[in-house]
Amino acid sequence: MKTTLQKIVFFGMAFLIMSVTAACQKAAPPPPPPPKPVTRPSRPAEKRKPVNTKTQQQFYDQGLRAYSKENYEEARAAFKRVVELGSNSPLGLNAQENLRKIQQILKTVEEIESK
């Protein structure tokens, strides 16, 4: 009888171990799929205006000359025109940075004058 009881306990333990192992394997959910990248719709090529780099360069140079002479209003107008001609072009991006600098300068001048 001892051997029969030992066999029952042995097989019972084996069954318990297999059940727990199977349950653990089922419990872990699969990893979620990676998120899809967000893409911005691009405008059709026929609707995009080509950037006239020569004209843009002329306005950019005009803005730099006015900036160096501390004529910030004229420089701002010229840099705004550069951005209008192509805001994502290299000159357009530089002009946007220059517009931020001019804005800060004019703000500082206004604060000094108000004191």
Domains of the chain listed by start with CATH number = 51-113 (1.20.58)
Closest CA to 93 of 46, 68, 60: 60
Dig out the tokens for 89 from the structure: 């072009």
Contact in structure between 82 and 91 (CB atoms under 8 Å): yes
Mean pLDDT of the chain: 80
- What one-character-per-residue DSSP string does 39-102 give? -PPPPPGGGSPPP-HHHHHHHHHHHHHHHHTT-HHHHHHHHHHHHHH-TTSHHHHHHHHHHHHH
Task: Evaluate if residue 32 carries a pLDDT over 60.
Answer: yes
C-alpha distances (whole Å) from 37 to each of 34, 40, 55, 88, 114 are: 9, 10, 37, 22, 50
Contact in structure between 72 and 106 (CB atoms under 8 Å): yes
Tell me: the pLDDT tens digits for 71-89? Answer: 999 999 999 999 999 999 9
> Whole-angstrom Cα distance, residue 67 to residue 102?
8
> Whole-angstrom Cα distance, residue 72 to residue 66?
7
In which band, very low, low, confident or very high, does the pLDDT at 20 lie, cut at 50, 70 and 90? low
| Between residues 13 and 39, the one the model is more confident about | 39
Percent of the chain scoring above 70 in pLDDT = 63
The arithmetic mean of pLDDT across residues 15-27, rounded, is 59
